Amino acid sequence: MQLFDLAPSGPGPSLALHGGAGGRAEELSPADRARYEYGLRAAYEAGWQVLAAGGDALDAVCASVAALEEDPQFNAGRGAALTATGQAELDASVMTGSGRAGAVAVSRYARSPVGLARAVMEQTEHVLIVDPGAEFVRQCGLEVAEPGYFVTEERQRQLKQLLESRAAADRHGTVGAAARDAGGRVAAATSTGGMTGQADGRVGDSPIVGAGVYARDGVAAISCTGHGEAFIRGIVAYDVAARIRYAHADLAGAVRDTFAQELTARGSTGGLVAVAGDGRVVVAHNSPMMFSARGQGPQATLTT
């Protein structure tokens, strides 16, 4: 397991984001690495600009995740993984430290799934909407995109290769962010296209509160990525927060213990980013690699 622990530098904001965890058959080429790093930096800057201007944690994580959804290299929004029949079925969630949450699953028409998840939280009495139609997206005041917008040639190639080889490697990936603002509020957001070649209608952990996302003021905000079924069974995001809240564990220790018991012991892999109530940042994964950015200022530290 790899874990990066950034101690709080003061009462100011903290931000961490991820662009997916998984395995890769070969090293990234310098050109590929540069593209991923550019996307991570751009997403970090989008979130940090909000925090630096005194904005709240929810606005920051949504800005970071929306930027990643627009970058076709990452498995969210345009360029997301495709189902076995070649469809883009998108999942996303948001949660604030005050306990408010919203999520969408099998989203096909919202250009920004994380924006729609936020709209579910702020504009409806619900938490989770499945298969929201184009009219629902319009009613929420958000941009509608036709299903073909999300499909890229690269994802079609990956799906074809997977179906022909029946290989199971490097199928998943997710984007997400966690933040603490200058007022001490925390929030988290997660967005994904799921697993390449998944069954139509399959839903992973990303839109499930407590599994792929969780936030509680004074405790932590967490966004997860990896083998979704394992994160659901282990309610991984909540398990980390519960260890802090009830067992008084520190953030790094809580993450290590949750990974050991709920993921590694079950033969599953993935990662997460977490920001504690005091601003401490932890980035961790037990997969071969994870794309991430973290910091407490305008310059981010990247892992790719």
Q: What is the CATH number of the domain that holds 112?
A: 3.60.20.30
How high is the pLDDT of residue 32?
Answer: 83
Q: Predicted confidence band at 25 (pLDDT cuts at 50, 70, 90)?
A: very low
Using pLDDT thresholds of 50, 70 and 90, give the confidence band for residue 31. confident
Confidence of residue 24 (pLDDT cuts 50, 70, 90): low
The average pLDDT across 178-184 equals 98
The reported pLDDT for the residue numbered 91 is 98
End-to-end alpha-carbon separation of the chain, Å?
A: 15
Q: pLDDT: is 289 or 55 the higher one?
A: 55
Q: Of residues 83, 174, 192, 303, which has the active-site annotation?
A: 174
Question: In total, how many domains does the chain have?
Answer: 1
- Rounded to two decimals, the pTM is 0.96
Residue 144 amino acid letter:
V
190 is catalytic: no
Mean pLDDT of the chain: 95
Mean local confidence (pLDDT), 188-213? 97
Q: How confident is the model at residue 84 (pLDDT cuts 50, 70, 90)?
A: very high
Of 65, 73, 60, 4, the residue nearest 34 (C-alpha): 73
Q: What range does the domain containing 94 cover?
A: 2-303
Q: What percent of the chain clears pLDDT 90, i.e. is strictly above it?
A: 89
Share of the chain above pLDDT 70, in %: 96
